[in-house]
Amino acid sequence: MAERTPLLHYRLPASSAAPIPGDECEGVGQPSATDAPRSAARKLGVMFGVVIPTLLSMFSVVVFLRIGFVVGQAGLYHSIIMLLVAYFIITMTVLSICAISTNGALEAGGAYYMISRALGAEFGGSIGIMFFLANVCGCALYVLGLVEAIVSSFGVPEESTAGFHQMLPSGYWWCLLYGTILLFLCFVVCLVGAHIYAKATFIIFIIVLTVLASIVISFFVVGHTVVILPETSLTNSTRRTANYTGLWLGTLKDNLFSNYTVDYTTGSVMSFARVFAVLFNGCTGIMAGSNMSGDLKNPGFSIPRGTLAAVLTTFIAYNLLSLLAAGSCDRYLLQRDYSFLGDINVWPPMVTVGIYSSAMSAAMSNLIGASRILYALAKDNLLGGVLAPARRTSRSGNPWVSVLISWLLVQVVLFAGKLNTIAGIVTIFFLLVYAAVNLACLALEWASAPNFRPSFRCFTWHTCTLGIFGCLVMMFLISSIHAFASIAFMLLLWMLIHYLGPISNWGYVSQALIFHQVRKYLLLLDVRKDHVKFWRPQVLLMVANPRTCTSLMTFINDLKKSGLYVLGHVKLGLLDNLPTDPLQSSYDSWLSLVDHLKIKAFVNLTLADSVRHGVQNLLFISGFGRISLLYYKVFSDIYLIMVLIILLVLGGMRPNTLVLGFYDDCTPEDGLGSDGACPNADSGQQSVFFPRVRRPDEPKYLQEGEYVSIIADAVKMGKNVALARYLNQFNREEVLGLQSSVGPFVDLWPLNLLHPNSHGYVNICSLFLLQLACVLQESRAWNRARLRLFLCVEAGCTLPEDEEEKLQKMLKELRISAQVQTVVWDQVVAMHWQRRGGEEDFLQNDEMRSRPEDENQDGAQMFPYNASHLTDEYICAVNSLICRHGSPKPAVRFLYLPHPPADTSRYHAYLRQVDSLSRDLGPTLLIHGITHVVTTDL
């Protein structure tokens, strides 16, 4: 039995889990053994867990080294505009983070956990891997930046005389050694646990606040100062000094407007876009607190408050420092000296300490963030056993193996020495993650799922859209090449996880979006506007036992022409005396069979007291009833394709064609093997089983009368009918294999052979038969097939050449390519009239041709009134005629199926004669169409 989903399903926060007396099920209100360390690890609150890490990540070294650069190049006005735009973009993302984080229990993984639980394993996993790599490279970048700052201050200069404090040797290997030592210090802090990391970042936070306070005080205390500018070979200017004027209105006026010039460190001409990109890099640390989600006491409470507080604080600090710098520093000083804050500080080493501390905290934040993301990826088993060791944790819940792996990867990146190329793509990775968070929130909002009700409500779909748009624009503004490369990398990871990763049960927002959009479009759908030129087969195939119908199910999959394909099954019984729905446990088995056969089909099961009533139910409700969507691992099931398929299914296109297996005495053959098992696509290990094949000596539970009644019911309900016979002999690989130089033949007999009175080929049923064969030929697997149309003529009535010419003209108008073969069947027809008693009977029967009872309301010929005069000799002669004209042997034959008689007492004769007609013909489809399906209109 499949597990039933409870009516109310929620997860208690780890801190509030309490045992329930009498509940012995692990995980239902009672923490499991694996939850204990995790609960113990949740010790961080708003300040230590979110505010401080986010503040330090957003400040980093930009606040000390790039504020003057931005104001010097862009001016105060443009700087404020840049800050407003940058913080507008990140605020939109923060609103999405707050919304998702307050919608349920948030585990370790931060952005990865949010995205994967909303958009699915593939999208979340690809973004999670990119976020992990971005944190790894970001950690290496901060460590190398810190090494460069230390070497520039304390390293032995190559040309000038060394000062007393400049004693550190420089060079590649020495810088690598310094970086390794600094990284090891970060590793030790993160390895001990999140609480030690929180204490370390708190100490760094106090240092950074002290430095910022000294900077602000210096603007008011320090008077006019002449600053010696750093030496550079990239500018031709001979001016070596610049002025710090102190707060002065004249200086402020000079710095109000932009003055973009050459950057003295890179030699590049600056512009609004380039300066904005530099500034925006300092605002992308908003996920530092969310990355600690697995270590927070209450993530839903801490993340919104802490992140918003950090964003507001940094926004005020950046604007204040920009205003003070613009009002006190000469424009030339701002443009030519990134480290001017140290030159004007009351104690210059304070700024250096701040730079070192912020770089160290940013490195630790990236390292611990990377380890938490890796741990979440390993727990979700997205890459199989590759990340299995990363799931191990200490007794306190610290994922020490993930920390170790992250540290080793950062150490490998450090060997690159210079990361100018990686630096650009790291920022792009972060922006892509932020765009994905906005997309996840937008999808949840658009889906209108009742369970998406976050306690944080200060967001709308407009804010999510603006966040996505802003992040994408910034990606291409910073580096279009890196943006395209990161998107391509994400798609590559998406496909890798899609094909190799396990199927999750987290719930996919795509399903909710599909339902929401389908409901909207169904309200707009008007079936009165359907046109015959857009007709396609919408097939309901009734399957009694899947073991015996594998070849038929595969054949009909080729016949559907991108239309609806439903596998129907009737289980006999009533729900009155049953405790649960017996069909619940069958759906997974049926869908696994569909996966195994690699067909694109839906499954619809019903419970009824008889097969006839069950088929009626399926014909009434298919398309709107309980249909389970097939999930199979191909790239074509991305969201937009799925929406189109569902719209076709749930729209006005209910099944228009019923396909039944033929009612005969053939011994059923098992198409699934002796055990009847097929691999389960979800696990790849389990198997599903279906009832054994009926033995020949066992009675059928469907009688002849009921079988013909099903055909008659379908016609009354406006459905076309096809009876499939000998399809168990159809070997798809042999027939459609490329080793054959000649494509398979499909033979068409569009004349009602059980009604020899008829002469016309142009009626609804014949045209439906032609259309169905043409649809089969247009499918990809059958594109090499050739149609052979057999034209039965009586030489005494009309010249064969005239009949063939008329048919060729009709085929040309219908754009159907078929080889027409004329079959003179005078001798076969003569057998029928001789039994009738000669010319007198012929004349009487000729009058009966005009009787309206022999045609239904659409013009399709019904089972004739002269059926009692159709001798076995005549039917066998027709059968032999078909066999003689079947060389080379066709892959399948399409025969005309007459309408069942209105008199139920003649059902037995009807079925017996159809059986004799199609006996030993090989794979055959007997078709009765009542729908207009062809048109010559453009």
Give the pLDDT confidence score for residue 501 in this predicted structure: 63
- Residues paired with residue 720 on neighbouring β-strands, in sequence order: 657
Closest C-alpha among 56, 63, 51 to residue 361: 56
pLDDT higher at 918 or 636 = 918
Lowest mean pLDDT among 237-246, 502-511, 612-621, 656-665: 502-511
Give the pLDDT confidence score for residue 24 in this predicted structure: 34
| 553 and 469 co-located in one domain | no
- Asked whether residue 729 is assigned to any structural domain, the reply reads yes
| 283 and 367 co-located in one domain | yes
- Per-residue pLDDT, averaged over 330-352, amounts to 86
- Per-residue pLDDT, averaged over 198-205, amounts to 87
Give CA angle at 367 (361, 368), nearest 5°.
90
Give the pLDDT confidence score for residue 857 in this predicted structure: 44
pLDDT higher at 325 or 822 = 325
Tens digit of pLDDT for each residue in 451-473? Answer: 677 888 888 888 999 999 988 98
Tens digit of pLDDT for each residue in 919-929? Answer: 989 899 999 98
Instruction: Quickly tell me which residue has 């209450």 as its tokens.
Output: 298
- Rounded distance between C-alpha atoms, residue 348 and residue 338, angstroms: 14
- Rounded distance between C-alpha atoms, residue 495 and residue 286, angstroms: 28
Share of the chain above pLDDT 70, in %: 75
| 370 and 335 co-located in one domain | yes
Give the pLDDT confidence score for residue 531 in this predicted structure: 63
C-alpha torsion sign, points 582, 585, 591, 592: negative
32-46, 742-756, 861-875: which has the highest mean pLDDT? 742-756
pLDDT higher at 759 or 822 = 822
pLDDT band for 427, please (50, 70, 90 cuts).
confident
- Does 1 score more than 60 pLDDT? no
Give the pLDDT confidence score for residue 466 in this predicted structure: 92
- Asked whether residue 901 is assigned to any structural domain, the reply reads yes
- Per-residue pLDDT, averaged over 183-202, amounts to 86
- Per-residue pLDDT, averaged over 49-56, amounts to 87
Lowest mean pLDDT among 329-333, 567-571, 696-700: 696-700
Share of the chain above pLDDT 90, in %: 14
Give the pLDDT confidence score for residue 640 in this predicted structure: 42
pLDDT band for 832, please (50, 70, 90 cuts).
low
| 461 and 555 co-located in one domain | no
* Cβ atoms 690, 547 nearer than 8 A: yes
H or E element: which one contains 619? helix 611-621
* Cβ atoms 816, 825 nearer than 8 A: no
pLDDT higher at 694 or 848 = 694
Coil vs helix vs strand at 290 = helix
H or E element: which one contains 642? helix 639-650
Strand duo 657-661 + 539-542: pairing: parallel
Last residue of a domain, one of 494, 509, 524: 509
255-264, 377-386, 525-534: which has the highest mean pLDDT? 255-264
Closest C-alpha among 513, 522, 526, 537 to residue 640: 513
- Asked whether residue 358 is assigned to any structural domain, the reply reads yes
- Asked whether residue 291 is assigned to any structural domain, the reply reads yes
Give the pLDDT confidence score for residue 127 in this predicted structure: 82
- Per-residue pLDDT, averaged over 381-390, amounts to 74
9-23, 118-132, 266-280, 601-615: which has the highest mean pLDDT? 601-615
Mean pLDDT of the chain: 77
Instruction: Quickly tell me which residue has 């446990």 as its tokens.
Output: 585
- Rounded distance between C-alpha atoms, residue 446 and residue 465, angstroms: 11
- Asked whether residue 703 is assigned to any structural domain, the reply reads yes
Last residue of a domain, one of 509, 544, 569: 509
* Cβ atoms 788, 748 nearer than 8 A: yes
138-142, 216-220, 493-497: which has the highest mean pLDDT? 216-220
pLDDT band for 309, please (50, 70, 90 cuts).
very high
- Per-residue pLDDT, averaged over 163-186, amounts to 83
| 267 and 375 co-located in one domain | yes
pLDDT higher at 470 or 64 = 470
| 455 and 595 co-located in one domain | no
- Rounded distance between C-alpha atoms, residue 713 and residue 719, angstroms: 9
Closest C-alpha among 603, 622, 499, 642 to residue 122: 499
Q: Give the CA dihedral 144, 146, 148, 150, nearest 10 degrees.
A: -140
- Per-residue pLDDT, averaged over 885-901, amounts to 88
Give the pLDDT confidence score for residue 722 in this predicted structure: 93
- Does 200 score more than 80 pLDDT? yes
Could you list the beta-strand ranges (E) of 548-666.
565-572, 602-608, 657-661
- Does 902 score more than 60 pLDDT? yes
- Rounded distance between C-alpha atoms, residue 453 and residue 430, angstroms: 27
pLDDT higher at 15 or 840 = 840
| 503 and 589 co-located in one domain | no
Range of the domain at 711: 532-627+644-670+697-835+864-928
- Does 365 score more than 90 pLDDT? no
- Does 80 score more than 70 pLDDT? yes
Whole-prediction pTM value? Answer: 0.62
- Asked whether residue 24 is assigned to any structural domain, the reply reads no
Domain of residue 136, CATH code: 1.20.1740.10
Q: How many domains does the chain have?
A: 2
405-414, 725-734, 791-800: which has the highest mean pLDDT? 405-414
Coil vs helix vs strand at 542 = strand
| 77 and 169 co-located in one domain | yes
What crossing angle do the helices spanning 172-192 and 121-154 adopt, rounded to 10°? 130
- Rounded distance between C-alpha atoms, residue 56 and residue 310, angstroms: 9
Strand duo 677-679 + 687-689: pairing: antiparallel
* Cβ atoms 346, 271 nearer than 8 A: no
Give the pLDDT confidence score for residue 234 in this predicted structure: 59
* Cβ atoms 519, 449 nearer than 8 A: no
325-329, 336-340, 685-689: which has the highest mean pLDDT? 325-329
pLDDT higher at 741 or 173 = 173
Domain of residue 753, CATH code: 3.40.50.12370
- Asked whether residue 854 is assigned to any structural domain, the reply reads no
| 58 and 194 co-located in one domain | yes
The two three-digit tokens of residue 556, written as one number: 């009909």
Give the pLDDT confidence score for residue 214 in this predicted structure: 92
Instruction: Quickly tell me which residue has 């049960």 as its tokens.
Output: 505
Give the pLDDT confidence score for residue 893 in this predicted structure: 92
Give the pLDDT confidence score for residue 894 in this predicted structure: 93
| 655 and 804 co-located in one domain | yes
Instruction: Quickly tell me which residue has 């970060």 as its tokens.
Output: 186
Give the pLDDT confidence score for residue 845 in this predicted structure: 44
- Per-residue pLDDT, averaged over 28-46, amounts to 49
pLDDT band for 407, please (50, 70, 90 cuts).
very high
| 422 and 461 co-located in one domain | yes
- Asked whether residue 37 is assigned to any structural domain, the reply reads no
- Does 36 score more than 50 pLDDT? no
| 346 and 277 co-located in one domain | yes
Lowest mean pLDDT among 613-627, 696-710, 769-783: 613-627
C-alpha torsion sign, points 299, 304, 309, 315: positive
- Rounded distance between C-alpha atoms, residue 195 and residue 49, angstroms: 9
- Per-residue pLDDT, averaged over 717-738, amounts to 85
**Helices assigned H by DSSP within 246-330:** 249-254, 272-281, 299-326
* Cβ atoms 681, 633 nearer than 8 A: yes
